[in-house]
Amino acid sequence: MEKRWSQPFYAFLGYIVILLILVAVALIIGAGVYLLLPGPGVEISRESIQAWSAFIVYTLLVFGYVIKESRGLWRNKRFWATIAALLLGHALSFWATLPYIAQWRFRGFALLYGIEGLLVFWALDHITGRFAKGPDSG
């Protein structure tokens, strides 16, 4: 009887941990943005605020969904290393391209992140599947 109760409870705890990790990532990104902001007296453009807001929202959506849907891989070390590497590459790519894009729109982000979500799933499947039988897979 206790086993039926414990499985949903631990699944719920797992989702809480994922949420906390994603919130921590968002706070780290926010702190980085704050530190990179210009000094007092310099106004921040509305487009910049919209771009960073969309970046944070869609990053949480894409990586949160990928992590949720990859529940079977949560104990796989390569899974978490791959997620961390993809998240770092994702953030650096955005940071590097932000100055060169005149206007970032939420619709544009939705399309871009839909494609990126598929690429993240492909990369995880390729990396964790390819190395699943290795000594560090579990």
Beta carbons within 8 Å of 60's beta carbon, 6+ residues apart: 22, 25, 26
Residue 125 to residue 80: CA distance in whole angstroms? 13
pLDDT for position 1: 45
Query: Does a structural domain hold residue 61?
Result: yes
- Is residue 40 situated within a structural domain? yes
The residue written with tokens 């910049």 in the block is 48
Q: Is residue 78 part of a domain?
A: yes
Burial class (CB within 10 angstroms; exposed 0-12, middle 13-18, buried 19+) of 124 = buried
- Give a yes or no: residue 42 inside a domain: yes
CB 123 within 8 A of CB 66: no
pLDDT digits (tens, 9 = 90+) for 12-35: 777 888 888 888 887 777 777 776
| Tens-digit pLDDT profile for residues 72-126 | 888 888 888 888 888 888 888 887 877 776 666 667 777 887 888 888 888 888 8
pLDDT at position 138 is: 47
At a CB cut-off of 8 Å and minimum separation 6, what does 33 contact? 52
Residue 55: which residues within 8 A CB-CB, separation 6 or more? 29, 94, 104, 109
Domain count, the chain: 1
How much is the pTM? 0.62
Domain region containing 33: 2-130
- The answer to whether residue 112 sits within a structural domain is yes
Residue 138 maps to a domain: no
- Cα dist. 134→75, 77, 123 in Å? 14, 11, 17
